Amino acid sequence: GAVVSQHPSWVICKSGTSVKIECRSLDFQATTMFWYRQFPKQSLMLMATSNEGSKATYEQGVEKDKFLINHASLTLSTLTVTSAHPEDSSFYICSAIGERGSQAFFGQGTRLTVV
Amino acid sequence: KQEVTQIPAALSVPEGENLVLNCSFTDSAIYNLQWFRQDPGKGLTSLLLIQSSQREQTSGRLNASLDKSSGRSTLYIAASQPGDSATYLCAVRRDFGNEKLTFGTGTRLTIIP
């Protein structure tokens, strides 16, 4: 299957700082990328959908000014957690889709810990 | 609003046994359904994808079935192995133009050696 690489795999940051997470499709062009958040022992919650070259669409309840998403190319999307707080600590996972209707491939996730 | 449920939340079986994981969804108007595996602290690995027009898909020891009208899917694992221990998630996509996935709550599977 196709490969989606997420970096970093884990990060620890201080409260008030910003953290950027990258999601890359390595062997295909991703027309759409998704960002999910997962709390311990819970399922994935969709945060936002991003299409290359356009603004991300955020799910209800997700603060777009706090979770900045940029999809500058067909192989890269970034999620920046701004002014991070301990409650932002979570597991963040991205996924990417090539052609419309095709299956989604997932990155390996990023464990964010805010101290 | 689509809701996807997986029961049980956790399951332990001895090595070598066959087992079935269940997934149910409230809105039968789906485009496809996908089964994933997630190891602790890791991302998701796609196992099987079933289009709405299909009844089942097979890959090795895994077989997934779909009964769209009743809003159910099952993942059958034959001759379970300790390496099968993981959390299994099902997810549904509403239609061709909407690539969002709605995930189930997951079943944490433990295979006892």
pLDDT in tens, A56-69: 999 999 999 999 99
User: In whole angstroms, what is the distance from residue B99 CA to residue A50 CA?
Assistant: 11
Residues on chain B touching A101 (C-beta within 8 angstroms): 31, 96, 99
Asked whether residue B53 carries a pLDDT value surpassing 80, the answer given is yes
pLDDT score at A100: 65
Mutate to test the interface with B, among A49, A92, A103, A105 (most CBs of B within 10 A): A103
Mutate to test the interface with A, among B50, B89, B101 (most CBs of A within 10 A): B101
Q: How far is B62 from chain A (nearest CA, A)?
A: 17
- Is A43 in a helix, a strand, or coil? coil
User: In whole angstroms, what is the distance from residue B60 CA to residue A60 CA?
Assistant: 39
Mean of pLDDT values over B24-43: 92
Question: Is the minimum CB–CB distance between B49 and chain A shorter than 8 Å?
Answer: yes
Among A6, A21, A10, which Cα is nearest to A79's?
A21
Indicate yes or no: CB of A100 within 8 angstroms of CB of B44: no
Q: What is the mean pLDDT of chain A?
A: 91
Geometric angle at alpha carbon B34, from A53 and A29, rounded to 5°: 25
pLDDT score at A112: 97
Query: Which comes out higher in pLDDT, residue B50 or A41?
Result: B50
pLDDT score at A1: 64
Q: How far is A91 from chain B (nearest CA, A)?
A: 8
Residues on chain B touching A44 (C-beta within 8 angstroms): 44, 89, 103
Q: How far is A82 from chain B (nearest CA, A)?
A: 23
CA–CA distances in Å: residue A33 to residues A29, A52, A85, B20: 10, 8, 25, 31
A97-101, B75-79, B102-106 — most confident range: B75-79
Asked whether residue A102 carries a pLDDT value surpassing 80, the answer given is no
Indicate yes or no: CB of A95 within 8 angstroms of CB of B44: yes
Phi and psi at A86, nearest 5°, equal -55, -35
